[in-house]
Amino acid sequence: MIASNKKINVEKHTVHAWFVPLILMVGIVLVMIKGWPIYVGIVIGYVGAMLYALAVGSTWREVHRASMIGMQNMWRVCVVLLLVGVVIALWMVDGTIPTLTAIGSDFIRPSNVIWIAFLMSAVLSMVIGSSLATWGILGPPMLALTPPHLLPVVAGALVSGGMVGDRSSPMSTSVIIMSKAADLSPSVTLRQLLRTAILPVALTLLTFSIYSMGHATYTHMPVLHHVHLTQVTFLLIVPPILVIILAALRIPLLYNLIVAVVIGSIYATKVPHESVQLLASQLWRGYPLVILKKQFYVGGLQEMVQASLLIFTAGAFQGVTALGGAIELLIERLFARVHKASGMVVIAYGISIAFAMLMGSQSLATLMSGNTLLPQFARRNIDRRSVLRVIGDSSELVSAIVPWNLLGLQAGAILGISTLQFVPYAYFIYFALIGSIVMTWRAMREQFVLPSDLEMHKTWRVAGERTE
């Protein structure tokens, strides 16, 4: 009886369901105007979701429980993010990243740094299966070898390459999440994602190569440390190699990073003239780096703590939103107006991208997109592989260029480049999205059936079977 009354109450407040995403967007716009931390905007959206949940019949106890469950689901991601900040700072202190920079400086020039950044990032992300780890390993040395005016472009190339593996690597946890969201086996999911990644990768590499032709003049490369490439210094590249090996062995990223922290700490204690106080300061604020008389900090916990606050607030928001049921009501209303394949494509991709912008988490956006689209596609006789194509090239990838999404925030924090600065150069995301829309539309034109027609077809088939 309680559940029935709540359902009636939800239907009664359907017209107010827009209140939840509207308040969230108001909060995001407000913090961008005021320059406040992004998590403040999510808190504003959380208040709106909480008020709606109470209005449709939820109790304060249910709201609290949903909020806590949402935050608990985010703790592992927060720990990984904090460990990445520590690893990067340690690798700067012990000389690992400077050594990689010295090795790379022999062949990286302004004429090729852009496409090399994309290619190396794509290859490494396919091996590791994590854009986060890829940016942490390649970001600082590649950006240190980049002229200032090309920093946003190279950051866009690194983000593009990192998303190649995040979307299509057999080592990526996102592949498993997408297979669950689309109700497909991981092997089928991986084959589909690999097949559709080839053309966007080729177009992105071609675009960056053409862009690089206009920057062929040699520019002085900044030097982080004077590194002599001896047998001893080559030991410094062991940590990133070990990260790759452990990832290939499918060791979870959390434990992988813990190993990297332990080795990095041992190396850091062997660095001459590094006091405990100085090391602690670098681990908190990041490693101080001066390039062209401009100082900034690489890695460290300070920026990652801010990101963790955003993650927890996003988790609480998602939990309360699911409790109120506002999103489900809005989705049902949108799909009720679909009568053509083209409309289905527009709404499906629009919803998936909206989840990436509203949920604050790549994984949450992917799962919610799949869970939302799957029944709607099934009712219209559309194959599940189309659902995979939609979420794999929209909510999965677009999360990296949304400044307040966890992934976009991680990219900006790790690379030290504002998300809005590298957004225009994340070409792989755009090529994959455009190609996906075209392929999905072509598939839907052949499969699309209105729910009423599908039910009638089933009725005729059952009647025919009984007659026989």
Segment 147-160, tens digit of pLDDT: 888 899 999 999 99
> Are residues 260 and 132 part of one domain?
yes
> Are residues 239 and 187 part of one domain?
yes
- Among 232-236, 294-298, 310-314, 444-448, top mean pLDDT goes to 310-314
Residue 319 lies in domain: 1-72+300-326
- Is position 44 within any domain? yes
Residue 8, pLDDT score: 46
Average pLDDT over residues 21-47: 81
CA distance 25 to 14: 19
Closest by CA to 289, choosing from 407, 403, 410, 415, is 415
Residue 288, pLDDT score: 80
CA distance 133 to 262: 16
Q: What residues contact residue 155 under an 8 Å CB cut-off, 6+ apart?
A: 139, 143, 411, 415, 417, 421, 422, 425
CA distance 197 to 190: 10
- Is position 355 within any domain? no
- Is position 281 within any domain? yes
Q: Is 31:41 a contact under the CB 8 Å cutoff?
A: yes
Average pLDDT over residues 47-73: 88
Number of domains the chain is built from: 2
> Are residues 171 and 93 part of one domain?
yes
Dihedral (CA of 417, 79, 137, 423) sign: negative
- Among 55-64, 121-130, 197-206, 335-344, top mean pLDDT goes to 197-206
> Are residues 163 and 51 part of one domain?
no
- Is position 442 within any domain? no
pLDDT for residue 446 is more than 80: no
> Are residues 169 and 134 part of one domain?
yes
Residue 14, pLDDT score: 59
> Are residues 291 and 185 part of one domain?
yes
Beta bridge partners of 294: 291
- Is position 366 within any domain? no
Helix 384-393 with 427-447: angle, nearest 10 deg? 160
Residue 110, pLDDT score: 66
> Are residues 262 and 197 part of one domain?
yes
pLDDT for residue 118 is more than 90: yes
Strand, helix or coil for residue 380: coil
At 63, which helix (H) or strand (E)? helix 60-72
> Are residues 240 and 131 part of one domain?
yes
Query: What confidence tens digit (pLDDT) does each residue in 332-363 have?
Result: 778 887 778 888 899 999 999 988 887 767 87
Looking at 359-426, list the stretches that DSSP marks H as alpha helix, in order from N- to C-terminal side: 362-379, 384-393, 395-398, 406-415, 419-422
> Are residues 122 and 269 part of one domain?
yes
- Is position 439 within any domain? no
> Are residues 305 and 295 part of one domain?
no
Structure letter (DSSP) for residue 14: G
Q: Worst-scoring range by mean pLDDT, 357-361, 410-414, 447-451? A: 447-451
- Is position 49 within any domain? yes
Residue 445, pLDDT score: 79
Q: How far is CA 45 from the centre of its chain?
A: 20
CA distance 148 to 162: 21
Tokens linked to 407: 């992934």
Q: Number of H helices and number of E strands within the chain?
A: 24, 2
Beta strands at 294-298 and 287-291: parallel, antiparallel or unpaired: antiparallel
Q: What residues contact residue 277 under an 8 Å CB cut-off, 6+ apart?
A: none
CA distance 210 to 214: 8
> Are residues 246 and 128 part of one domain?
yes
User: What is the percent of the chain where pLDDT is above 90?
Assistant: 19
Average pLDDT over residues 189-218: 86
- Is position 451 within any domain? no
> Are residues 122 and 13 part of one domain?
no
Half-sphere exposure of 158 (CA within 13 A, CB side): 31
Q: What residues contact residue 37 under an 8 Å CB cut-off, 6+ apart?
A: 31, 306, 309, 310
Give the CA distances from residue 55 to residues 7, 16, 101, in Å, rounded to whole numbers and listed in that order.
Answer: 12, 10, 57
